[in-house]
Amino acid sequence: MAPIPPPPPALLMGSDLTLTRGGRTLFEALTVRLGAGEVLVVEGPNGAGKSSLLLTLAGVLHPDSGRVAGAEADAPHLHFLGYGAAVKTRLTVAENLAFWRTMYGPSGIDAAAALDRVGLAHTAELDAGVLSAGQTRRLGLARLLVSRRPVWLLDEPTASLDAAGSRLVAEMIDAHAAQGGGVVVATHEHLPLTANHRSLRLGAPQ
Amino acid sequence: MTDLASQPKPNWFSRLAHPGSFMAWSRPLVVPLAVATALLFVAGLYVGFFRAPLETENVGSTLPLLYIHVPNAWLSQFVYGAMFVAAFGTLVWRHPLADVAAKAAAPLGATFTVLALFTGSLWGRPTWGTFWEWDGRMTSTLILLFIYLGIIALWRAFEDQLKAARIVAIVTLVGGIDIPIIKFSVDWWNTLHQPASIITATGPRMAGSVFLPLLLMLLGFTLLFLTLHIVSMRTEILRRRVDSLSRQAAARGAA
Amino acid sequence: MSAILAIIGRDLRLAARLGGDALTLVLFFVMVGAVVPFAIGPDRVLLAQLAPGIVWIAAFLSMLLGLDRLFRADEDDGSLLLLRHAAIPLEAVVAAKLVAHWLLTALPLVVASPILAVLLAMDQATWVDTVLALLVGTPALTALGTIGAAVTVSLKRGGLLAPVLILPLCIPVLIFGVAAIGAPEGSNAAFLFLSAISLVSVAFCPFAAALALRVSGE
């Protein structure tokens, strides 16, 4: 695995973000700074705008004011893991992972090693449609490993995972931070993280 | 650190185009515009019916219909042009007033296009002997109507009007680029199947005495569009305010 | 480049494993052409005269009705969101989807066209012209279709809206597509116009469609 180049001052910078959805202000003048090796845990009740914040940081949602800047201006620099599994049920597990490895650039570990890491090695040649919800989620986690991106934006990564799965997520986040990556993770569960992390609490809807 | 894009320089245009100030400056305009429209209509129809000839050699006794048909045909294209400009405002500057302008213009444009087709076919009945002829201009106008109706349907399909505005703007721009191609292909197709066109490319030659009432009616209809457009933009802005107030009221009840 | 090939390969592989879709489309195409004689009578001379138009309309309808599938599956399972952060720009993703969709929806129609040629009493020269016109003209339909599919992708019931939006914009393709059939060799202006429209649409539409997909994600 190639070592991560010397970390820039901030991997991801969201300054003065305000987002209004359907007449409701989800967050106002919010500044999020993610440096190398940092983990930011976004907490809050359902509907508080955790997912919207992640999508804003991903550049998918356009904030009403403020701006988001990545370390490299336009280069694709992030992984997003959200509600949609982006798994084609009629392709095999290995084919699914190989597709995303090609799309995101084969800069991480190889697909077989990634499947092994998330505990899906025995399913590689099976149709992804036969995977359980938890296994499908693990396949999504494997996607983070096959292509190296400095920023991970994880929206409820432990959804439909058991305790062992939650530990896996926490270990992966710790490892990514230890290698100089940055992680923003939105969750309403406790993650057994060992790395230093900060919390950002989004309030109840107003 | 503030984003420059979120705080546009307060030049004269952005001051005028802010929805709040639009509501303020447009309010006293509505009545004078309506009066001017009515005066132009009266003058145009008076000159058209009492001062200019009612018949000419090549158009026959249907000449007065020209005073209604030509302005509507002009507006059917002019309104699309206005929507095209508004689409830039929506996509490039994300300007809320451009959204409102485009949304208010679409049904007006469709109406003028229907009127152009209707008067055109009334005019065509004695000229061509049939209500509908696959004449190049009539055909292009019909396709333009389809585009208008598709855009209106798209506006209505979205709940989120901000997203609708940007989506519709893309379709409006693509349509605007495609319209000249459609026009060219229809004209080409028309000459292929119907070498002897009844209306020449330069249009029916008209006497000078017809020109003045036609000009008055063109101005009158254009002012009519401006009046209706401002009124329906105001209605749309008010509707959006009511909508956002209701949402705020609902949110207060929940908290 | 490998990413573009990966998208095309994935879409083709998915279609091959699901099977039904392309076949249903071909069936629809043949059926539309085959019901026309019931409407206008089995007069072979008349049918032969109308055949190019009928084949084009059948292809037109089949392709418009197939539009909704362009981005729908990728939108539903979240792939489209992830493709926005791929190593290639979204415009290239759309272009790759365009090629895959054309291979899956237009090429089968060309392959099935001999059936309609026989049913509609087309002579061989006309059929060859028709195949050429379809091959050159259908990329424009797919390209404009990407815009229709992209602007309606966030609508749950966008199925009929995309064809209604795109149909008027496709009329030049129909006009030149039909006119290109049976025109004298060497002076076929319609064929040149058709090629020009296809080239321009294929070059331009991915940008408009990618913009629409970005807006739809908001």
Q: Are strands A12-21 and A78-81 parallel, antiparallel or unpaired?
A: unpaired
Same structural domain for residues A190 and A179? yes
The nearest alpha carbon in chain B to C214 belongs to B167
- Position B3 scores a pLDDT of 38
Which chains form contacts with chain C, at 3 or more CB pairs under 8 Å?
A: A, B
Beta strands in chain B (DSSP E): none
Same structural domain for residues A154 and A64? yes
What are the tens digits of pLDDT across the range A55-68?
Answer: 998 888 888 888 88
Minimum-distance CB partner of B1 among A16, A23, A205: A16
- Alpha-carbon separation of residue C110 from A131, B229, C102, C214 (angstroms): 38, 48, 11, 33
- What span, in angstroms and rounded, lies between the C-alpha atoms of C25 and C145? 16
Is the residue at A114 inside a domain? yes
Residue A191: which CATH number? 3.40.50.300
Same structural domain for residues A98 and A110? yes
- The alpha-carbon gap from C114 to the nearest alpha carbon of chain A, in Å, equals 32
Q: Is the dihedral of CA B106, B108, B111, B113 positive or negative?
A: negative
Cβ pair A64:B6 closer than 8 A: yes
**Domain boundary pick from A148, A168, A191:** A148
The end-to-end CA distance of chain C, in Å, is 28
Is the residue at A81 inside a domain? no
The pLDDT of residue A204 is above 70: no
Of A186, A51, A162, residue with least CA distance to C78: A51
Chain C hits for A85, Cβ within 8 Å: 77-78
Chain A hits for B1, Cβ within 8 Å: 15-16
Least confident of A5-14, A102-111, B153-162, C157-166: A5-14
Q: Are strands A12-21 and A65-70 parallel, antiparallel or unpaired?
A: antiparallel
- What span, in angstroms and rounded, lies between the C-alpha atoms of A184 and C84? 19
Q: Are strands A24-34 and A78-81 parallel, antiparallel or unpaired?
A: unpaired
Concatenated DSSP letters for C31-90? HHHHHHHHHH---HHHHHHHHHHHHHHHHHHHHHHTTTHHHHHHHHTTHHHHHTTSSS-H
- What span, in angstroms and rounded, lies between the C-alpha atoms of B233 and A82? 39
- Alpha-carbon separation of residue C54 from C99, C116, C174 (angstroms): 25, 9, 11
- Position A206 scores a pLDDT of 41
Residue pair A28/A173 in contact (Cβ under 8 Å)? The answer is no
Same structural domain for residues A187 and A133? no
Chain B hits for C152, Cβ within 8 Å: 154, 157
Interface of B with C in 81-120 (CB under 8 A): 91
Q: Retrieve residue C119's tokens.
A: 């049913």
Is the residue at A18 inside a domain? no
**What does the domain layout of chain B look like in residue ranges?**
30-195+211-243
Backbone angles phi, psi at A25, to 5 degrees: -85, 115
Mean pLDDT of C129-136: 93
Question: Phi/psi class of residue B212: alpha, beta or left (left: φ > 0; alpha: ψ in -120 to 50)?
Answer: alpha
Chain B hits for A66, Cβ within 8 Å: 2-3, 6
**Domain boundary pick from A125, A148, A171:** A148
- Position C80 scores a pLDDT of 92
Chain C hits for A62, Cβ within 8 Å: 218
Same structural domain for residues A59 and A154? yes
- What span, in angstroms and rounded, lies between the C-alpha atoms of B122 and C106? 42
Give me the helices (H) in B94-135, please: 96-128
- The alpha-carbon gap from A199 to the nearest alpha carbon of chain C, in Å, equals 26
State the residue range of the domain holding A126. 86-148
Cβ pair A206:B251 closer than 8 A: yes
CA geometry: angle B70, B72, B77, nearest 5 deg: 100
Cβ pair A65:B251 closer than 8 A: no
Mean pLDDT of A27-38: 87
Confidence band for A11, pLDDT divided at 50, 70 and 90? confident
Which chains form contacts with chain B, at 3 or more CB pairs under 8 Å?
A: A, C
Q: Retrieve residue C3's tokens.
A: 């990413």
Q: Retrieve residue A74's tokens.
A: 């336009």
- Position B211 scores a pLDDT of 78
- For chain A, how many structural domains are there in total? 2
% of chain C residues with pLDDT over 90:
67
What are the tens digits of pLDDT across the range C3-54?
Answer: 999 999 999 999 988 877 788 899 999 999 999 999 988 888 999 989 999 9
Chain A hits for C19, Cβ within 8 Å: none
Name the CA dihedral angle for A88, A90, A92, A97, rounded to a multiple of 10 degrees. Answer: -10
Q: Is residue C187 packed enough to be buried (19+ CB in 10 Å), middle (13-18) or exposed (0-12)?
A: exposed
Count of C-beta atoms within a 10 Å radius of residue B100: 24
Highest-pLDDT range among A35-44, A84-93, C144-153: C144-153
- Alpha-carbon separation of residue B55 from B49, B63, B210 (angstroms): 10, 6, 10
Cβ pair B2:A24 closer than 8 A: no
Is the residue at A5 inside a domain? no
Cβ pair C14:A95 closer than 8 A: no
Same structural domain for residues A154 and A131? no
Cβ pair A84:C87 closer than 8 A: no
Is the residue at A25 inside a domain? no
CA geometry: angle B93, B99, B101, nearest 5 deg: 115
The nearest alpha carbon in chain B to C171 belongs to B182
- What span, in angstroms and rounded, lies between the C-alpha atoms of C147 and C142? 9
Interface of C with B in 128-167 (CB under 8 A): 144, 147, 151-152, 154-155, 157-158, 161, 164-165, 167
Mutate which: A16, A30, A33, A46, vs B, most B CBs within 10 A: A16
Q: Is B176 on the interface with C (CB under 8 A)?
A: no
Minimum-distance CB partner of A23 among B5, B6, B248: B248
User: Per-residue b/e over A179-198, b at no fewer than 16 CB within 10 Å?
Assistant: ebbbbbbbbeeebebebebe
Which chains form contacts with chain A, at 3 or more CB pairs under 8 Å?
A: B, C
Backbone angles phi, psi at C86, to 5 degrees: -70, 170
- Position B11 scores a pLDDT of 61
List beta partners, residue A42: A186, A200
- Position B6 scores a pLDDT of 42
- Position B105 scores a pLDDT of 95
Spans of chain B below 70 pLDDT: 1-17, 52-62, 193-208, 253-255
- Position B58 scores a pLDDT of 54
- Is the complex ipTM more than 0.95? no
Residue pair C142/B165 in contact (Cβ under 8 Å)? The answer is no
- Position B1 scores a pLDDT of 35
Minimum-distance CB partner of C208 among B154, B170, B182: B170
Of B197, B99, B183, B176, residue with least CA distance to B140: B183
Mean pLDDT across chain A? 85
**Domain boundary pick from A148, A164, A197:** A148
Name the CA dihedral angle for A102, A106, A108, A111, rounded to a multiple of 10 degrees. Answer: 60
Same structural domain for residues A198 and A188? yes
